[in-house]
Amino acid sequence: MIEIENVRKSFGSLEVLKGIDLTVQKGEVVTIIGGSGSGKSTLLTCINGLEPIDSGRITVDGTEVHAKSTDLNKLRRKIGIVFQQFNAFPHLTVLENVMLAQVKVLKRPKAEAEAEAVKQLNHVGLGDKLKVYPSRLSGGQQQRMAIARALAMSPDYMLFDEVTSALDPQLVGEVLDTLRMLAREGMTMICVTHEMKFAREVSDRVAFFHKGVMAEIAPPDQLFGAPRDPELQKFLSATH
């Protein structure tokens, strides 16, 4: 369970998170929508401790992320994250990309790491690209590789930060299909996304962020069907 309590965060004088409260249960899929600069991506990087917070508390399975005593490297093993930019390690093959952290962080034997990497790459449809370097992959394939790389760590939670935003339109579908598949399999996910149709389909709950505040959170039918927040109404009419 991920519990976010009254989290505030500023970059300089700009407050990007103004007291966020959100609890995500095991097995739940929560998507976060909202305009750019609404703080939704920042929240994700706070959850796995890549960004510090100014006040409030984030706990993952009872471990407080920003406590001094928390071993972040250990905590991050159970929280996978995939970013907007394709963050392939360009000097490693696709297979090696997915094996590296398993061997270094989880200390898995090479053979076991390789088997897991092959399994995950097959899972995301890259089983035929094992020996290829990332520069030979399309954006969509690189993004699916990044998903496989995160999944190979056997995380309990997956965070997706606008993973389709940097993709050519015709490549968005393949990545969203991968996310849909994970959602069906019961992975606990928080997805920041601009894909409204996708959010509506996969989410248990959808949260709307506006200027650092979670203005509304509801099951998708309710949030898209009968939005109450006036900013959300504006946002939806502009994106539809």
Partner 1 sequence: MFDTALTAADFAFLARGAGMTIVVTLISVIAGTILGIVFGVFRYQVGPIWAAPLTFVLDVFRSIPLLIQLVLANAFLGTILRLNMSGFTVACIILSLYTAAFCAEIVRGGIEAVPMTTRRAARSLGMTWGQDMRSIVLPLATRVALPSWIGLALGVMKDSALVYIVQVTELLKSTQILITRLQEPLLLLMICGAFYFVISFPLARFGGYLEKRWSND
Binding site for partner 1 (CB under 8 A): 48, 50, 73-74, 76-77, 80-81, 83, 85, 87-93, 100-101, 104-106, 133-135, 146, 149-150, 153
Pick 51 or 204: Cβ nearer partner 1: 51
Pick 100 or 181: Cβ nearer partner 1: 100
Do residues 57 and 6 touch, judged by C-beta distance below 8 A? yes
Closest contact distance (angstroms) between CB of 40 and partner 1 is 17
Closest contact distance (angstroms) between CB of 128 and partner 1 is 18
217 residue type, one letter: I
Q: How many CB atoms lie within 10 A of CB 203?
A: 25
- 27 φψ region: left (φ > 0), alpha (ψ -120 to 50), beta (else): left
Looking at the DSSP assignment, which residues form a beta bridge with residue 191? 31, 160
Pick 102 or 203: Cβ nearer partner 1: 102
Dist. CA 100–CA 149, nearest whole Å: 9
Dist. CA 34–CA 141, nearest whole Å: 26
Closest contact distance (angstroms) between CB of 48 and partner 1 is 6
Pick 153 or 232: Cβ nearer partner 1: 153
Closest contact distance (angstroms) between CB of 94 and partner 1 is 11
